[in-house]
A and B are shown apart, each in its own frame.
Chain A
Amino acid sequence: MTEQHANQATTPATARDINPDALQVILATDCGSTTTKAILIEKVDGVYRQTYRGEAPTTVEEPAADVTIGVINAATEVGELAGRRLVDEHGLLMRPARGRDGCDIYISTSSAGGGLQMLVGGVVKEMTGASAQRAALGAGAIVMDVLAANDRRKPHEQIQRIRDLRPDMMLLAGGTDGGTTRHVVQLAELVAPARPQPRFGGQYRMPVIYAGNKDAAGMVADVLDAVCDLSTVPNLRPTLEQENLAPARDRIHDLFLEHVMAHAPGYDKLIAWADAPIMPTPGAVGDILRTIAERQQLNVVGVDIGGATTDMFSVFDGAFNRTVSANLGMSYSISNVCAEATLPQILRWVPYDCDERTLRNRVKNKMIRPTTIPQTLEALIFEQAVSREALRLAYVQHREFAVGLSGVQQQRSVGDAFRQEVGGKSLVDNMRLNLLVASGGVLSHAPRMVQTAMMLIDAFEPEGITRLAKDSIFMMPHLGVLAQVHPRAAMEVFERDCLVYLGTCIAPKGTAKAGQPLCRYRLTGGLTAQGQLIAGDLLRLPLADQSACEVTLEPFAGFDVGAGPGKPLTAPVHGGTVGVILDGRGRPLQLPHDRALGQTIVANWNRAVEMYPE
């Protein structure tokens, strides 16, 4: 065995020293539930660029049952495309890069096997419960349930719930430091008799993180030590007006590596191979979006819609929030989208007649055979209609969650904390949203870019001026983990290769009767146009990627384009593959209840922006 191989097999990821300046070739993988995606990042003319990508089926299931096989297959494919040998004759990644062989570092994210699943608890659901949920979500977990003293379930129901669920780990919070200890100990006393069992294997004890009142830590340990693998971190809510999520989040990451990943097939090898700690995929996406928002001083919303779940991220005024809608997705969960949204809501986006019985059966057939793709135009239109509702529901959930205290160590007043108790105002404000980023199959693989843009606009209803983009090949997870090792490389690739800009949506806020003028517009520079935007209008104007123009908007009374009701606004507008979309359909967006009229209107909108072939 060569020295290189020995190193691969034994050295833990965190122990290696990486000199960022010496990195020329970086291999990154994202091990998803079904596909392992590999990208190659190379230094070209002094800047880092994403150069090649490859993919292979993920191999965590039988008969392979070793995630590294999928990684090697994906790396082999990317190597073949790049003309670079990344895997040696022993089936190991070659490091460091020498000439046309090998890479300098290998990094990875993972969501295989259903990702990281957590159960969290707090004393008051809206306060410590919400903070614990934020810590878990921010670390990239799916939160299976939030237990709290005030969650309206009886104690024996809560115990039964803990028994029924088999999370990967639990996070318990509750109480401020120096405050009463009784309630949080009571919470621990519900966990102990449930004797929670971890999801993977019965050979190790359930990891439980305690991040509550520090004065209760000893008492909680007395209750839980016998039944769980308890670790204590600083209180995530040390005072009412302070949230300190970082220690809990770091501990979640550590336990994710030590317990969850270490018990998944082949992950012991993968952990040893990687030159940086493996991150849960959504955690990595959140990190890169947060970095971008901070650097460019933007308010950003990002979405990743998958087959089973939809992840939503937002950064507003530096406050980061993530939610995952566990049963909103386009294949495994498509039936649940139809159940939650209802079929009439979905059909309002479909400009043709359909038989409900046939549609319901089609939806179920997609659920039981999730890998199929739409062959006909009608099937595509229906799937894109479902996606609008899945995105809309996920966004509603996100906006409801993204309230009050957010981010690490953020100071707020006591008054703010009390406002949060009564379900405070969402931090997510569509009028102040600068950039909306899309990723996930139905958005990324739409045959026409304008379809992606319109799915975003119809579901999110951005107000004022909002730039739209999509993650070109879903490389945000890779860049999120790269940012841990080499932030500059991650930023360079993000800015040059990651996002495909679709264009900009301009949408006055307010509602009007059809035919009523909403605002005057004048575009100058890279695009010259002017006129009145009329209620119900949808206009698409060409403005290429890398091009920009200036828009002056003069809204009529009752309409707002970002400067306040009736106030004019002049702002830069960026182009993209779709261009500029002037959306005069009003906010909130309302479609007629009459099915025939709705079909006519939607068909007209589709025609106006050239959504589908005639």
Chain B
Amino acid sequence: MTQAYTPGLLVTPCLWWRCRRVLPVTGRVLVRLHQQVTAEEVVAETETPGDAIPVNLSRTLGVAPGRVASTLLVNVGDAVEAGQVIAQSEGLFGWFPKEYHSPITGMLESVSAITGQMIIRGTPRKVQVRAYLAGEVTEVLPDEGVTIEAHAAVLQGIFGIGGEAYGRIQFVCATPEEDLTADHLRPEHRGAIIIGGRRITRTAVDRARELGISALIAGGIDDQDLREILGYDLGVAVTGLEKLGLSVIITEGFGDIAMARRTFDLLRSLQGQPAAVNGTTQIRAGVLRPEIIVPVVATTAAHASREGISGLLDVGAPVRVIREPYFGELGEVTGLPSEPQWLASESKARVVAVRLNRGETVTVPRANVELMEGVAT
């Protein structure tokens, strides 16, 4: 029987999950090997250099670049305060000297005798890395960060915005077909990770921001709504740095598309559990998908390792069609013809026969199906 490799998104109730948390530049690791950490605990921190403010002192004070050093009232390497006079020209016969006040608090980093330019460096910025995964520190990378491991339910979304967020899983929709609207959201949801069914509406996102909700998760979102939420039309799927005050993750795609039943059921089984989510998405080389991580107690019945997931498309495999005319429909592979076949578009492509959940069996290009990966609940 012909097989094909078709990667999909991970939706699994229990996986031994490994998470590497490192600083962007070297710094201090704050936890020990084998220490148990909570998701929001800071495990490493560092300071990155502050903003560099270049000032052409030669032009500002009206002196030759070579004489700029003689106007300085502080030395290179000295701390300076915002508003402090740090340079002063001699003026004309001692009259009308010009002063230069530091625009920021920081340190005088350098002065150039060639261009007359000085650099004032702002105060360093603190960068902290949280554990993200509640579990055990299994590796300490000196000065860099740690690796944390734990059993967790792991679900990947297809697209998200906003970075990392934390909270308890809270269901607001009764079925996967129900839209997540503003009416579902209440003040007691503050700090929660809200799970909806079909589509997240723009007004729901607005309301969630008002209420201080950590994240919204549902099957789909309208592109028009996304544009209004972001304030611009997203050109490429590289996200995570949006400052929305919450993260938004969709599990299926754009439009009116219900959350896959197995995803919905798995999340429902985790109702009330503390979770970490990350909306960061990067669909380029080195693809990153948004994720929902919920630490769980290991059960032998529902346990899988990341390595155990094959990505092999075979007869009987559960799949989702990811392109029109059957976009979003779920089904099961019933055949994998080895010879390429003609499509309605007149292209010739390798195809897969899929019996859709609504009963019809259809033929679609293999490129247009996605394996429903992970262990079924």
Asked if A357 CB lies within 8 Å of chain B CBs, one says yes
From A383, which residue of chain B is reached at the shortest CB distance? B345
A368 near B283 (CB under 8 angstroms)?
yes
Q: Which residues of A contact B347 (CB under 8 A)?
A: 373-374, 380, 445, 447
CA distance A185 to B367 in the complex (A): 53
Instruction: Looking at the assembled complex, report how far the CB atom of B101 sits from the nearest CB atom of chain A, in whole angstroms.
Output: 16
Q: Which residues of A contact B367 (CB under 8 A)?
A: 371-373
Instruction: Looking at the assembled complex, report how far the CB atom of A308 sits from the nearest CB atom of chain B, in whole angstroms.
Output: 7
B370 near A361 (CB under 8 angstroms)?
no
Asked if B353 CB lies within 8 Å of chain A CBs, one says no
State whether A193 and B253 are in contact (beta carbons under 8 Å apart), knowing that A156-B51, A219-B114, A375-B368 are contacts in the complex. no
CA distance A185 to B368 in the complex (A): 54
Asked if B126 CB lies within 8 Å of chain A CBs, one says no
From A160, which residue of chain B is reached at the shortest CB distance? B51
Q: Which residues of B contact A189 (CB under 8 A)?
A: 54, 110, 112, 115, 117, 119
Instruction: Looking at the assembled complex, report how far the CB atom of A98 sits from the nearest CB atom of chain B, in whole angstroms.
Output: 34
Interface centre among A112, A370, A374, A447 (most CB of B within 10 A): A374
Report the stretch among A327-335, A499-507, A588-596 that lies at the interface. Answer: A327-335
From B121, which residue of chain A is reached at the shortest CB distance? A193
CA distance A365 to B253 in the complex (A): 6
Q: Mark A143-169, 1 if CB is under 8 A from B, else 0.
A: 000000000000110011000000000
CA distance A377 to B347 in the complex (A): 9
Measured as residues with beta carbon below 8 angstroms from the partner, the interface class of chain A is: 35 or more
Q: Mark A29-46, 1 if CB is under 8 A from B, else 0.
A: 000011000000000000
Q: For A373, give its contact among B109, B226, B368 (CB under 8 Å).
A: B368
B346 near A613 (CB under 8 angstroms)?
yes
From B284, which residue of chain A is reached at the shortest CB distance? A332
Q: Mark A320-352, 1 if CB is under 8 A from B, else 0.
A: 000000010000110110111000000000000
Q: For A336, give its contact among B110, B235, B285, B364 (CB under 8 Å).
A: B235
From A33, which residue of chain B is reached at the shortest CB distance? B285
A376 near B345 (CB under 8 angstroms)?
yes
Q: For B345, give its contact among A336, A372, A377 (CB under 8 Å).
A: A377
A375 near B346 (CB under 8 angstroms)?
no
Instruction: Looking at the assembled complex, report how far the CB atom of A113 sits from the nearest CB atom of chain B, in whole angstroms.
Output: 6
CA distance A361 to B343 in the complex (A): 23
Q: For B344, give its contact among A159, A202, A376 (CB under 8 Å).
A: A376
Q: For A375, give its contact among B159, B236, B324 (CB under 8 Å).
A: B324
Asked if A194 CB lies within 8 Å of chain B CBs, one says yes
Q: From residue 3 to 58 of chain B, which have CB atoms closer than 8 A to chain A? A: 25, 49, 51-54
Q: Which residues of B contact A445 (CB under 8 A)?
A: 347
Asked if A132 CB lies within 8 Å of chain B CBs, one says no
Q: From residue 318 to 377 of chain B, which have CB atoms closer than 8 A to chain A? A: 322-325, 327, 343-349, 364-365, 367-368, 370
Asked if A142 CB lies within 8 Å of chain B CBs, one says no
CA distance A339 to B223 in the complex (A): 12
A368 near B344 (CB under 8 angstroms)?
no
CA distance A338 to B254 in the complex (A): 16
Q: Which residues of B contact A369 (CB under 8 A)?
A: 158, 253, 322-323, 370
Q: Mark A177-208, 1 if CB is under 8 A from B, else 0.
A: 00001100110011011110000001000000
Asked if A358 CB lies within 8 Å of chain B CBs, one says yes
Q: For B119, give its contact among A34, A193, A379, A447 (CB under 8 Å).
A: A193
Instruction: Looking at the assembled complex, report how far the CB atom of A319 sits from the nearest CB atom of chain B, in whole angstroms.
Output: 31
A367 near B236 (CB under 8 angstroms)?
yes
Q: Which residues of A contact B119 (CB under 8 A)?
A: 189, 193
Is chain B's binding surface mostly helix, strand, loop or mixed? loop
Asked if A72 CB lies within 8 Å of chain B CBs, one says no
CA distance A364 to B158 in the complex (A): 11
Q: Which residues of B contact A181 (CB under 8 A)?
A: 114
CA distance A61 to B288 in the complex (A): 12
State whether A155 and B54 are in contact (beta carbons under 8 Å apart), knowing that A336-B235, A375-B343 are contacts in the complex. yes
B114 near A114 (CB under 8 angstroms)?
no
Count of interface residues, chain B, beta-carbon cutoff 8 Å: 51
CA distance A327 to B234 in the complex (A): 12
From B250, which residue of chain A is reached at the shortest CB distance? A368
Interface centre among B115, B226, B281, B283 (most CB of A within 10 A): B115
Asked if A448 CB lies within 8 Å of chain B CBs, one says yes
From B49, which residue of chain A is reached at the shortest CB distance? A195
A361 near B285 (CB under 8 angstroms)?
no
Q: Which residues of B contact A113 (CB under 8 A)?
A: 285-286
Q: Which residues of B contact A223 (CB under 8 A)?
A: 112
CA distance A195 to B25 in the complex (A): 12
State whether A361 and B254 are in contact (beta carbons under 8 Å apart), knowing that A376-B325, A376-B345 are contacts in the complex. yes
From B7, which residue of chain A is reached at the shortest CB distance? A371
B49 near A182 (CB under 8 angstroms)?
no
B234 near A335 (CB under 8 angstroms)?
yes
Asked if B139 CB lies within 8 Å of chain A CBs, one says no
A114 near B235 (CB under 8 angstroms)?
no
CA distance A493 to B49 in the complex (A): 54
B346 near A357 (CB under 8 angstroms)?
no
Q: Mark B111-141, 1 if CB is under 8 A from A, else 0.
A: 0101101010100000000000000000000
A361 near B345 (CB under 8 angstroms)?
no
A377 near B344 (CB under 8 angstroms)?
yes
From A159, which residue of chain B is reached at the shortest CB distance? B52
Asked if B222 CB lies within 8 Å of chain A CBs, one says yes
Asked if A363 CB lies within 8 Å of chain B CBs, one says yes
Q: Which residues of A contact B235 (CB under 8 A)?
A: 327, 333, 335-336, 339-340
Q: For A365, give its contact among B65, B233, B323 (CB under 8 Å).
A: B323
Asked if B304 CB lies within 8 Å of chain A CBs, one says no
Asked if B255 CB lies within 8 Å of chain A CBs, one says yes
CA distance A186 to B344 in the complex (A): 61
CA distance A445 to B340 in the complex (A): 14
Instruction: Looking at the assembled complex, report how far the CB atom of B144 sits from the nearest CB atom of chain A, in whole angstroms.
Output: 9
Q: Which residues of B contact A372 (CB under 8 A)?
A: 322-323, 365, 367-368
Q: Which residues of B contact A339 (CB under 8 A)?
A: 233-235
State whether A365 and B322 are in contact (beta carbons under 8 Å apart), knowing that A156-B52, A156-B54, A185-B115 are contacts in the complex. yes
Instruction: Looking at the assembled complex, report how far the CB atom of B284 sits from the nearest CB atom of chain A, in whole angstroms.
Output: 6
Instruction: Looking at the assembled complex, report how far the CB atom of B158 sits from the nearest CB atom of chain A, in whole angstroms.
Output: 5
Instruction: Looking at the assembled complex, report how far the CB atom of B48 sits from the nearest CB atom of chain A, in whole angstroms.
Output: 9
Q: Mark B142-179, 1 if CB is under 8 A from A, else 0.
A: 00000000000000001100000000000000000000
CA distance A205 to B367 in the complex (A): 41
Q: Can you name 26 A-B residue pairings with CB atoms under 8 Å? A: A60-B285, A113-B286, A182-B65, A189-B110, A189-B117, A193-B121, A332-B237, A332-B284, A333-B235, A333-B236, A335-B234, A357-B224, A360-B222, A361-B254, A361-B255, A367-B283, A368-B254, A368-B281, A370-B283, A373-B347, A373-B367, A375-B345, A375-B364, A376-B344, A379-B323, A447-B346
Q: Which 3 A-B pairs have the closest CB atoms?
A: A336-B235, A447-B346, A193-B52
Taking A155-B54, A223-B112 as given, write out 15 further A-B residue pairs in contact, using a Cβ cutoff of 8 Å, ordered by the A residue number: A33-B285, A61-B285, A156-B52, A159-B51, A159-B54, A333-B235, A333-B236, A335-B234, A335-B236, A336-B236, A339-B234, A357-B223, A374-B347, A380-B346, A447-B345
